[in-house]
Amino acid sequence: MNELLHYDLIRKDDALDWIVFIHGAGGSSLTWKHQAAAFQDHFNLALLDLRDHGGSKNMHPDYDSYDFDIVTDDVVRTLDHIGIRQAHFMSLSLGSIILQQLDDRRPSMIKSMIMAGGVFKADWRIRAFAHSGKFLSYFVPFRWIYDSFIIIVMPRKNHAFSRKMYRRQSKKLAPGDFLKWLGLYQDFFSVVRSFYQRPLRVPALLVMGSQDHVFLEAAERYAQKHAPRAELMVMEGRGHLCNLEDQVGYNAIVLDWLGRLGVR
């Protein structure tokens, strides 16, 4: 029998909407602790740990490799178990690709999408890293590879807090599990390409840092193509993990946007 993801629920009122939080690779539900504190008075919250992360360590079945169907199935199965039929979804970094796959697999489940540090295309740096990462794993510790990726995406001094938090959370990720997540790049391109071309059915908020030099440009193109349903908010002086760098500013942006949707 397939296991469920570890999850934490914060229930305010059965009459309120749900927000489901999907963290990025190497993170955990702790990524969202500052959002949970700000949103729990307005929504019911479901915070998930993806397989191999946080409380979902050692999930079964243990696959030899992953694709986005596998990790998305985990999310769907867990939400079905909880009884969440429809929700707003908030994702971070790679979690946005899982959300994009969920939009394809179970569109009726999504009321709106909020993507912090959203990934809509891989530039040459990410492609080069993904293609070389597995090869390098035969020669260097996976922790060096992971840290190299963090530095590529968040290179500036003011990104130090985000780097530190993700390094700390990723210590639960075993080397073999890291390589399985790295292998998702083989499925990555088809998922983001399909999402980019598919008409956007629900409101989507893209919150990006102005210093997100890897992913911001693609997010700008996506928002332009899918306006007005897609709205881009750029946080000045922030990097890829903008919800960690400026928790108060990020929360204010999202709560205001949800309020304009009429769900607060």
141, pLDDT greater than 60: no
Where are the strands (E) in 142-259, listed by range? 204-209, 230-235
Q: Are 87 and 113 in contact (CB under 8 A)?
A: no
Structural domains of the chain sorted by starting position, each given as residue range(s) with its CATH number in brackets: 6-261 (3.40.50.1820)
| CA-based nearest residue to 121, from 36, 14, 194 | 194
- For the chain, give the mean pLDDT: 88
Residue labelled with tokens 């090869």: 135
Dist CA 146 CA 121 (whole Å)? 20
Provide the 10 A C-beta neighbour count for residue 132.
12
Q: Looking at per-residue confidence, does 170 or 100 come out higher?
A: 100
Give the mean pLDDT of 219-232: 97
Average pLDDT value for residue range 17-39: 94
**pLDDT on residue 220:** 97
Pick the residue with more confidence: 221 or 125? Answer: 221
Residue 115 has pLDDT above 80, yes or no: yes
The sign of the CA dihedral 105, 54, 254, 205 is negative
pLDDT of 50 strictly over 70: yes
Mean pLDDT of 76-81: 97
- 172: pLDDT strictly greater than 90: no
Cβ–Cβ under 8 Å, residues 51 and 59: yes
Q: Check residue 138 and give its pLDDT.
A: 52
Q: What is the CA radius of gyration of the chain?
A: 17
- Is the pLDDT at 135 greater than 70? The verdict is no
Q: By three-state DSSP, how is residue 3 classified? A: coil
Is residue 125 pLDDT above 70, yes or no? Answer: no
CA–CA dist 121, 135 (Å, integer): 23
- Output the pLDDT for position 146: 67
Q: What is each CA distance from 264 to 65, 202, 229, in whole angstroms?
A: 41, 17, 19
